[in-house]
Amino acid sequence: MKAFLKKVLAFGLGSMFLLSPLQAAEVEVLHWWTSGGEAAALNVLKEDLQSKGIGWKDMPVAGGGGTQAMTVLRSRVTSGTAPTAVQMLGFDILDWAAEGVLADLNRIARQGNWDAVVPLALQKFSKYDGQWISVPVNVHSTNWVWANKAVFEKVGVTVPRNWDEFVAVTKKIKAAGYTPIAHGGQAWQDATVFDSILLSVGGYDFYKKTMVDLNLKALGSAKMVQVFDRMRVITGLLDPNFSGRDWNLASAMVINEKAAMQIMGDWAKGEFIKAGKVPGKDFMCFRFPETQGIVTFNSDQFAMFRVGSADTKSQMEMAKSVISPVFQSAFNVVKGSAPARTDVPNSDFDACGKKGMTDLASANMNGTLIGSMAHGHANPAGIKNAMYDVITNHFNTKQSSRAAVKALVAAVETAM
């Protein structure tokens, strides 16, 4: 497959030399940032490139998590028409790098001193065989809860600090006529909740042992049964129409006081900001109970595919724009995430943004920063997808927790 893709890209590269100079000063960007908040953040990059005379050919593929986008990308690459830049996550980047089709970013990485400013946890996915092959845009953390402050005040509840308090709070919210948890019934959203529940049950060590090390004994343990037990509690806190709902529509339920909370990564904050809501005044952000001090992360990155030499300059300019401190601040203020470099000041960030940056720095220092399984940063795609199938099947059926644990062990063992 690797050799085939190289031949395909060589054919596509040859055709690139036929482009006019005007067409060459352009990047075609495949991404899945299609919600209101995401689109607003993306405009920051578009406008920055346009100021440098580089056009933007938009190729959006709807679907949070990027699964659909990766399917489209595979089709484009095998047909010899790879986009010049692609939004990617985690192990997907390394998989494409292994096929030998990503551009070399070493020269501009050295010029920009990326090794010194990008956290090592991100570099794991930005490099292949020690060479820079993608440029990180941000650091999202996934173990967040977003809550409507007015609903909490009307019901008379406060931010829960542990699981028992969380359950008590949700019971009061439900009794008051609100949906306790806004959720979208898609596999990656179910897995995002699973991430936080797993951390709440076993902490950092258990998360690493099960999701990163793939220890089969730990995966089949009584603790994992408890994880699925808590997932079953979550399913009882949703409205009956959650199946198939997009994540941003679940965010809108919280924004519009239809639901009290959403368990979602910090990209959700972009939806609140887009709606004119203010952290601390209109909504609250807090770590999922019993995961305080730990950060599960994913990092959006742009990988540049090997294309014609006429496009290489535009690609490199885009990479330099993405990693610049000014862009990192401007983009992540709007997106809701933290900058992908450690030297960006937090002065322009709101209260939730500052908390996210503080939590990230602390977790990075304390060794409690770990890649999110739900978002492709804990294990390869084949294993992640096998876990997705088990988690979402349990979430949407009456399967017992013990049966789900057995299925999880079997699925991981088969996928390894």
pLDDT tens digits, one per residue of 86-112: 999 899 999 999 999 999 999 999 999
Q: For residue 42, what pLDDT is reported?
A: 84
Nearest 5°: CA angle at 277, between 188 and 235? Answer: 35
Residue 136, both tokens: 């990180």
111-155, pLDDT tens digit by residue?
Answer: 999 999 998 889 999 999 999 999 999 999 999 999 999 999 999
Lowest mean pLDDT among 274-288, 295-309, 335-349: 295-309
Count of beta carbons in the 10 Å neighbourhood of residue 187: 20
Q: For residue 1, what pLDDT is reported?
A: 45
Between residues 11 and 164, the one the model is more confident about? 164
Sequence-separated contacts (24+) of 207-215 with Cβ below 8 Å = 207/294, 207/296, 207/370, 208/370, 211/370, 211/373, 211/378, 211/379, 212/370, 212/371, 212/378, 212/379, 214/379, 214/383, 214/412, 214/416
Percent of the chain with pLDDT over 90: 69
Q: For residue 4, what pLDDT is reported?
A: 36
Lowest mean pLDDT among 28-37, 190-199, 286-295, 340-349: 28-37
Provide the CB-side half-sphere exposure for 152 (13 A, CA): 21
Instruction: Tell me if domain 2-137+300-347 and domain 141-296+361-415 are identical in fold.
Output: yes
Q: Which has the closest alpha carbon to 312: 75, 17, 87, 30? A: 17
178-198, pLDDT tens digit by residue?
Answer: 999 999 989 999 999 999 999
What is the average per-residue pLDDT within 345-352?
94
Q: Are 386 and 412 in contact (CB under 8 A)?
A: yes
194-243, pLDDT tens digit by residue?
Answer: 999 999 999 999 999 999 999 999 999 999 999 999 999 999 999 999 99
**pTM of this structure:** 0.84
pLDDT above 90: residue 374: yes
Tell me the pairing of strands 26-31 and 85-88: parallel
Between residues 19 and 405, the one the model is more confident about? 405
Rounded to a whole number of angstroms, the distance between the first and last alpha carbons of the chain is 20
Q: Which has the closest alpha carbon to 126: 265, 349, 299? A: 299
Domain ranges (residues) in the chain: 2-137+300-347, 141-296+361-415
Handedness of CA 286, 290, 295, 300 (dihedral sign): negative
Q: For residue 270, what pLDDT is reported?
A: 86
CATH code linked to domain 141-296+361-415:
3.40.190.10
Handedness of CA 83, 89, 91, 94 (dihedral sign): positive
Phi and psi angles of residue 226, each rounded to the nearest 5 degrees, phi first: -60, -35
Provide the CB-side half-sphere exposure for 194 (13 A, CA): 30
CA dist., res. 291 & res. 31, Å (int): 30
Lowest mean pLDDT among 61-75, 143-157, 251-265, 268-282: 61-75
pLDDT above 80: residue 323: yes
Percent of the chain with pLDDT over 70: 93
Mean pLDDT score of the chain: 90
Tell the CATH topology of 2-137+300-347. D-Maltodextrin-Binding Protein; domain 2 (3.40.190)
**Residue for token pair 């809501």:** 277
What is the average per-residue pLDDT within 288-311?
87
